Amino acid sequence: MSEKENDMKLYWCGECNIPVYKTTCPLCLSKTNYFAMDARPVFPEEVTLLEILLHKKGQLQGRSIWNTKGNRYYADGNLLKEFSVQEIIREWDPDQVHRLFLEEKNNGFDYDSFDSMVAKFILANKKRLQKLEYDSFEFIKMASEKYEKRINMVSFSGGKDSTVVSCLVRRALGAADILHIFGNTTLEFPTTYEYLELFQKYNRRVPFFKPKSDRNFFELSETIGPPSRVMRWCCTVFKTGPIADIIDKLSVDELGKDGIKNDNKILTFYGIRRSESTQRSKYDAISKSPKIAKQIVASPIIDWIDADVWLYLLSHDEAFNHAYRLGFSRVGCLVCPNNSDWAYFLNRVHFPEQSTKWRDFLVSFASKIGKLDAEEYIDSGNWKARQGGNGMEVGFSTVKFEPCATETNARNYTLTRPITKNLYEYFKPYGNLDFERGRTLLGEVYVWARKDKKREKPLLRLQGKIGQNHLKIIIDPKVFHKEYPRKSLLLLENWIDCQLRKYQACIACGGCPAICKMKAITVIDEQYRIDSYKCIGCMECIAHYDKGCLVTKVTQTRGLI
């Protein structure tokens, strides 16, 4: 077996009572045994929690305890067979555990044995750390030189991975003033906001942007339903959208000294790692951002495992999010539907105020959509598999029309939202709007095909009066096929339906501006706007989301909920 293959596994040294990366312990030279593919240290706070839950008070303190994949706990290299998430959830009331934990917290936590174990772990694996740092420094410098005209930025979530990346980037580039961006969803763990303040206190030269959405999460969840594992609209609205808006402002084109326009694009260093999930295992170390235009993403720790991250943080005595000491393996939004049953339980133990508010909302929502046992539906986690808008009032996500009886290639639509001037913004991707040539009595607006210079016949004729719900749309097939010679007329009809759904359902979520590569779409005063001079008619704003719109995607009725 090669050295590289060895380094991707962890072995247990029974003499030193720690995990190492070698089949022979670098400290005592003893032969080691295979331990796990990855592991993280269990801090004294989490050990105290385990003692409560497993009825082992005083039996685990002072031991070398590690957590491996599959949420398995090992004490001195031996599996704690008593630990079972489902049995613990069935046995314990989170409020009771919270009270017991606070009592133990008042007695203090034993860090002497833990610190001694960590010191051995660091010393035994120092060569591993040296190689990790060297490779990361070289990668960061290479990426920065390759994209030297871009603005360097660190995506900072307040988690352990972004903390490591922040340190590595500033060290590799020899600069303390690297721009950091924290997407403030307003839904993060309380400890994340505490850590953010601490980080800024001790890194005052680091410029921070903390964009956040103007939307209220709970109000939005009332309208379109809470996010689920297959309907995670929250990331777009509360993270990607606001971050994309900041990046757009940072990357405004400017004229350089030579009079040539500079495109100030962004190089963002992320803390993404392949070992985190099957999906992320396919990620490239450097790639174009699939969510935010004008951004290249570089991942200097993409091949690190959890043990590597903790080796770095503990070796450099870096401050980190306190949630990891409490037992969380990952930190993020408290309301995330991707949180495991164990994370949901820990949330209720350690953050009872925020968790109760979220659970109460979910139970109320479940009752509204007709769940007979709403509390069981929520506490069992079934809400995470919810799909679409079943049981909700989501008429805005459907488009109703009838074919015109007197005119071919024409449809009569009945909109759920009255026609306003804003409606016509949604037709700009198809071509140029003309408010002068149409018949005024019909409220007719022409849409000229982009390649049509003669303007003899419009691609579309829109007939509808402001304030009314009836809209007639007539398509000229000849103009369409000339503009799109290999496309079916059905495609244009689908495009139109998508934009009408978007008009009816638009809540100014920020999803469309985030994915427009030409930055032609903006949301001003909660009104959707398209800059005709920037729009090239690529239709990405229509094709990117199922049904053409993020809101209609998550509220369409389908399947079981």
Number of separate helices (H) and strands (E) present in the chain: 21, 23
Over the stretch 311-351, which tens digit does the pLDDT of each residue have?
A: 999 999 999 999 999 999 999 899 999 999 999 999 999 99
Measured from the Cβ of residue 330, the count of other Cβ atoms closer than 10 Å reads 17
Q: Model confidence at 354, in pLDDT bands (50, 70, 90)?
A: very high
- pLDDT higher than 60, residue 240: yes
Return the closest-CA partner of residue 51 out of 121, 119, 118, 105. Answer: 105
Complete DSSP assignment for 432-454 = EEESSSS-GGGTEEEEEETT-SS
Task: Please name each of the domains of the chain with its CATH number.
Answer: 10-113 (no CATH), 125-326 (3.40.50.620), 341-385 (no CATH), 395-555 (no CATH)
Question: What integer pLDDT is reported at residue 280 of this predicted model?
Answer: 66
Question: What integer pLDDT is reported at residue 367 of this predicted model?
Answer: 93
What proportion of the chain, given as a percentage, has pLDDT over 90?
A: 69
Q: In this structure, what token pair is assigned to residue 361?
A: 């909302």
In whole angstroms, how far apart are CA 334 and each of 3, 44, 465, 497? 40, 23, 46, 36
Report d(CA 265, CA 150) in Å as an integer.
Answer: 5
477: amino acid identity, one letter: P
- Widest CA span in the chain: 91
Question: What integer pLDDT is reported at residue 5 of this predicted model?
Answer: 40
Over the stretch 421-441, which tens digit does the pLDDT of each residue have?
A: 999 999 999 999 999 999 999
Cα of first residue to Cα of last residue in the chain, in angstroms, is: 49
pTM of the model: 0.87
- pLDDT higher than 50, residue 54: yes
Name the residue with higher pLDDT: 22 or 242: 22
